[in-house]
Amino acid sequence: MQRRATKTPALVERRKPQVFPDGLWPSDGVAFERTCTDCPRLAAFLDEGREEYPDYYCAPVAPFGDPDARLIIVGLAPGFHGANASGRPFTGDHAGLILYRTLHRFGFANKAESTARGDGLRLINCRITNSVKCVPPQNKPTPLEIRTCNKYIAAEFQQLPPNAVLLALGSIAHNATLRALELPPSEYRFAHAAEFALPGGQTLLDSYHCSRYNTQTRRLTEGMFEAVFVRAKQLLAREQ
């Protein structure tokens, strides 16, 4: 499934990102802000988490991976006992086990597991970011929280090369990506394995989220997930 829209997203001056000291985007106040409290409900939930789990990270979680990546994976939000605990996207939960194993299998990671910051994991031509940077109660951010946090991935996407591949995990990530690029959702309908050529030259791919629920109910199988990465590799090779 491939469609091409006519609207071109607004352009701003590109910033060259800093070198990521531990693979995590620095708190630059533009594409990521570790002290952000713009969403009162999420900020309060983080405060509660710090009290109950003082060893947890409990702060907005930065994008992780290659600053010059051409494959950008967009997730939903940190899980409470996953990224919210570890401080790295998709680290410490079921979805991360599947994602990093798949990234390693396709050459996008030097290891098949993400256990903690500082574990030596390195992503190769790949970066992982979330639509919402803070853990939401019951894993459900509100529409307002999704819109409020969208400024961060919008700024991050200003660094995209024209031949980048954006892989959205789930419909919320799909719609957040469109909002960040100022593209109309009516022209880009989410579906697993859907593919869209974007006005800026990038490609948007969709996948069901690799959550425990989706994989255990077999809404998303290993073969389905890997097929999306096969296509991503094909697109990246074609544009080299």
Q: 135: closest CA among 53, 225, 212? A: 53
Label residue 210 exposed, middle or buried (CB < 10 Å: 0-12, 13-18, 19+): buried
Domain ranges of the chain: 21-238
What backbone torsions phi and psi does residue 14 show, to the nearest 5 degrees?
Answer: -75, 140
* Phi and psi, residue 78, nearest 5°: -60, 145
Closest CA to 66 of 11, 116, 121: 121
pLDDT reading at 126 higher than 70 = yes
What is the β-pairing status of strands 203-207 and 64-65?
unpaired
User: pLDDT band at 123, cuts 50/70/90?
Assistant: very high
Looking at residue 225, its pLDDT comes to 99
- Choice among 9-18, 52-61, 86-95, 177-186 with the minimum mean pLDDT: 9-18
Q: Please give the Cα distance from 32 to 40 (Å, whole number).
A: 17
Task: Kindly report the backbone phi and psi dihedral angles of residue 51, in degrees, each rounded to the nearest multiple of 5, phi listed first.
Answer: -70, -40
Task: Note the helical H segments in the chain.
Answer: 40-52, 83-86, 94-105, 143-157, 171-180, 212-216, 222-238
In this predicted structure, the answer to whether residue 1 has a pLDDT above a threshold of 60 is: no
The dihedral built from the CA positions of residue 149, 30, 129 and 133, taken in this order, carries a sign that is negative
As a 3-state breakdown, the chain gives helix, strand, coil percent values, each rounded to 5, of: 35, 15, 55
Which tens digit of pLDDT belongs to each residue from 65-115?
Answer: 999 999 999 999 999 999 999 999 999 999 999 999 999 999 999 999 999
CATH superfamily of 21-238: Uracil-DNA glycosylase-like domain (3.40.470.10)
Q: Of the candidates 54, 55, 75, 60, which has an alpha carbon nearest to the alpha carbon of residue 26?
A: 60
For 5-9, 101-105, 148-152, 207-211, which range has the lowest pLDDT when averaged over its residues? Answer: 5-9
Q: Which residue has the higher pLDDT, 14 or 179?
A: 179
